[in-house]
């Protein structure tokens, strides 16, 4: 199997895929942030993020979280299943949202989590990104599975 050997980049295929999953998660999180920008713009403003870059900044944790979660759930176990891909997206989205919620609590204090519509807004945003996370976890799983099938087929053809 070709997945265990380093490529031109010097990284074994599972590590490359974990990094790719992080970049993919960041891209999807940025897109989701722009879709939810009306609510997230206000959130970014109240936690002190610069308004010009707030949407990509809100997505930044998904880069690291996505790579780590993909590695832990998919690559390390060698289980390229769609439920694991969906779990990758869900966990990446929820951990990223949880980190920003923790930042909100740090800036404004825990009592703000119960003030007015804040719990409803946080719940709505976490729910929306959770659904988006599940949906974006599936395409990368499909691409990774196809990549593995192609490398296995190429390995079989080379051994004949």
- Is the pLDDT reported for residue 98 higher than 70? yes
pLDDT band at residue 156, thresholds of 50, 70 and 90?
low
What average pLDDT score do residues 61-88 get?
Answer: 94
Q: Residue 2 has what pLDDT? A: 45
- Rounded CA separation 27/33 (Å): 10
pLDDT band at residue 13, thresholds of 50, 70 and 90?
confident
Residue bearing the bigger pLDDT, 135 or 156: 135
Q: Residue 151 has what pLDDT? A: 77
């Amino acid at each position: 199997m070709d997945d265990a050997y380093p490529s031109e980049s010097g990284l074994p295929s599972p590590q490359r895929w974990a990094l790719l999953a992080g970049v993919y998660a960041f891209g999807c999180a940025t897109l989701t942030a722009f879709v939810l920008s009306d609510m997230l713009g206000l959130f970014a403003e109240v936690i002190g993020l610069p308004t010009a870059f707030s949407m990509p900044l809100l997505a930044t944790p998904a880069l690291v979280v996505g790579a780590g979660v993909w590695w832990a759930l998919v690559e390390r176990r060698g289980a390229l299943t769609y439920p694991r891909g969906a779990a990758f997206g869900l966990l990446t989205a929820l951990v990223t949202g949880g980190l920003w919620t923790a930042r909100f609590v740090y800036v404004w204090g825990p009592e703000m989590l119960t003030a007015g519509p804040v719990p409803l807004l946080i719940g709505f945003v976490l729910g929306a990104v959770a659904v988006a996370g599940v949906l974006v976890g599936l395409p990368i799983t499909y691409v990774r599975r196809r990549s593995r099938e192609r490398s296995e087929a190429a390995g079989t053809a080379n051994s004949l």
